[in-house]
Amino acid sequence: MANTTIDPAILKRAQAWLNDNNIDDETKSRISTMIDNNPAELAESFYCDLEFGTGGLRGIMGDGTNRMNKYTVGMATQGLANYLKKVFAKDNEIRLAIAHDSRNKSDYFAKIAADVLSANGITVFLFEHLRPTPELSFAVRYLHCHSGIVITASHNPKEYNGYKVYWNDGAQLVPPHDDNVIIEVKKIASIAEVNFAGDTMKINMIGESIDKEFLKVSKSYSLAPEVIAPQKDMKIVYTPLHGTGITLVPQALKNYGFQNIHLVEEQAISDGNFPTIVSPNPEEKAAMKMAMDKALAINADLVLATDPDADRIGVGVKDLDGNYILLNGNQTAALLTYYLVKQWQAKGKLTGNEYIVKTIVTTELIGDIAKSAGVEYFDCLTGFKWIAEVIRNMEGKKTFIGGGEESYGYMIGDFVRDKDAVTACCIFAECAAWAASKGKSLYELLLDIYLEYGLYKENLVNVVRKGMSGQAEIKAMMEGYRVNPPKEIAGSKVKLMNDFALSQTTDIHTGKISPIELPKSDVLQFFLEDGSKISMRPSGTEPKIKFYFSVRTDLKAVADFKQVEAKLDGRIEEIIVAMGLR
C-alpha cells in the first residue's frame, strides 16, 4: 500500500467512507484502489467537500467528498429539502420540478434528487427525458412549484456534471435563499442523514405537455412575423452539440415560420461523451467547426448552436468577403438588443417604461443602444440570477424587453427567468430575416450598429488554476490587485477602481470612495483614462480567474472597419501583455 505518500487527513476522510455502512460496496472498492494505486487522485477526491455554492454544485464525477456522485448529490438534496420544509412549513404541499441534460449520469442524478425529495414528502415533477434548462425555469412557474433543480454542467467538459437550484419565480437562488440553502446543506454531517427511499406516489413524470406550453409562449415573443414569411426558406444550420437543444429548437424555429433548417446530424445525437468535440462550448471554434463546414457546403444564411443544456447560443454568419465567422457573445448581445429595441419602436410599443438588463462585464454598447431609444438599462452582477432579480424587483412597475451577458446567454421577455437559447435562436433568426428584408446580412447590420454607436472590441483571457493549489493562487491574485491596484496599465492611467467585494468605487487620483449599489461579489474593475475597461473575477463554477477587456473608438466608414478593428485588437493585446497575462 502507498499510505505513506498520502496526507493523513485525506486518508482519514477516505477511510470514513470505507467504514460507512451507507456507502455501497462498489464505491468502497474503487476508493480502496485509489488508496493503493493513485494517491494523487485520492487527494483530489477527498481533500475537501464538493462545495454547494450560491448556484448549486459543479464538479468532476467520481467517488469521494469532492466529486459529483450519489452521496454528494443526496446530501445536497437533503439540505435543500430541509430548507424548503422550513420556509414553506405552512403550505399543504411543497412542489419541485427537475430536469436534466444529456451528460453521463445526469438522468441518474436527477432520479437520486427525485427520490430524496419525495422521501421527504415533497411532490416532484420529473421530466421523463432530457430537457433544456430554460424549460425547467418555465416549468417551475407553470406548475406553481416552490423550487426546481436542473442536472447539468452547462458547457464544461464531459467529466463534469452539476446541480443548479431554482426558486419559485423560476430563477436561480439569490440572497437570502442561496446562503440559507448552503447553511442547511452544510448541516448534513453524514450520509446517514439522507433519506434515499423515494416515494413513487410523490413523483410525477412530465414532458410533452410542458413542451407545448413552452413553445406556445416562446412563439408569442415573435416581433415581426411579417418579415419571416418572405424569408421562410432562409438556410439555417443548427447543432445542439449532442445536448438538449434537439428537443425544442428545431420545432421552435418551425413554429416561428422557418422551413429550411439543416441539422448537423452527427451532433444531433444526445451523448454525454460528446464524441465529435473536445468541449461542448459554442464559444469555441472547434466545437462549431462541423456546423460551419456544413454552412459552407450548403451556402447557409445563418449558423446556430446551443450548449448541452441549451441555455447558451453560438452564432455564425458570413462576413463581407463571404467567409463564415463566429460572432462573439457581445456582438450577439448587441444585435439582439438592437433588433428588440428597433422592433419595439416600430410597433409603437415603447412607452418610456421599458428596460434592458446587462451584466457589468458585458459590452457598454448595449447601454448605448438602449439609451438612444429612451429605454432604461440596468447593470447587474455576472450571472442570470441577477438579471432575474432585477425583473422580480420591477414586476408590475416596468416592462422587461430583454437582457444578456457576454458569455453567450440571452433572455427575451420574462416568461423564462434564466438564459434561454431556445427563444434566442428564434429571435436571432427573425433578426436575420429582418436584416434580409432590408437587403442586408447580419454582418452588415452589425457594421451599421458600429457606425452609429462606435466600434467596441472585447476580449477574454481565462487563467486556469486547478486543484488545491489553484484555489489559493486565484485568491492571492485577486488580493494582490485589490490591495495594490495598478496606477497605470499599458501607458494609460487608471482612473477608477470598482471593488464589488467592498461595494465601493475608488477614484485613484483623489482617493475618493463612493458606494456601489449592488450585492457584494469578488469582482474588480479598472477604468483607464483612454476609455478602456478591465474586469476580473474568479469563476464561480470552474477553476479559473477571468479577465475581461473592453476598448472603443469611433468608426467613420465601413471601409475602415478592418483597420480600426486591428488597432483595437492591438490595444487589447498591449493591456494583456502589460498585465503579465501573455
Whole-angstrom distance, CA of residue 372 vs CA of residue 400: 17
Q: b/e per residue, 523-537, with b = 16+ CB within 10 A?
A: bbbbbbebebbbbbb
Residues with Cβ within 8 Å of 488's Cβ and at least 6 positions away in sequence, in order, are: 494, 528
Whole-angstrom distance, CA of residue 443 vs CA of residue 62: 44
What stretches of 47-176 adopt beta strand conformation (E)? 56-60, 95-100, 123-127, 147-151, 160-167
CB 116 within 8 A of CB 85: no
Whole-angstrom distance, CA of residue 414 vs CA of residue 218: 10
Q: In the structure grid, which three cell numbers stand for residue 279, read together?
A: 468541449
| 154 noted as active-site residue | yes
CB 204 within 8 A of CB 96: no
Three-state SS string over 265-304 comes to: HHHCCCCCCCCCCCCCCCCCHHHHHHHHHHHHHHCCCEEE
Strand order in the sheet with 399-405: 376-380, 354-359, 399-405, 409-412
Strands 455-464 and 544-553, bridge-based pairing = antiparallel
Whole-angstrom distance, CA of residue 377 vs CA of residue 355: 5
- Residue 176 preceded by cis peptide, ω within 30: yes
Q: Residues 45-49: contacts with CB within 8 Å, 24+ apart?
A: 45/14, 46/10, 46/13, 46/14, 46/17, 47/7, 47/10, 47/13, 47/468, 48/468
- Cα Rg, the chain, nearest whole Å: 24
CB 86 within 8 A of CB 205: no
Residues with Cβ within 8 Å of 248's Cβ and at least 6 positions away in sequence, in order, are: 131, 132, 135, 211, 214, 215, 310, 422
Q: Is 453 exposed, middle or buried (0-12, 13-18, 19+ CB in 10 A)?
A: buried
Report CA-CA distances (Å) from 235 to 159, 217, 231: 34, 25, 9
Q: Which of 231, 233, 239 is nearest to 294 (CA)?
A: 239
CB 359 within 8 A of CB 382: yes
Q: Which of 302, 276, 270, 307 is nearest to 289 (CA)?
A: 276
Determine the angle formed by the axes of helices 208-219 and 133-142, rounding to 10 degrees.
100
Strands 147-151 and 513-515, bridge-based pairing = unpaired
Place of cell 428537443: 247
Instruction: Please count the other Cβ atoms lying within 10 Å of the Cβ belonging to residue 360.
Output: 21
| Set 154, 218, 492, 550: catalytic member | 154
Whole-angstrom distance, CA of residue 127 vs CA of residue 107: 10
What are the residue numbers of the active site?
A: 154
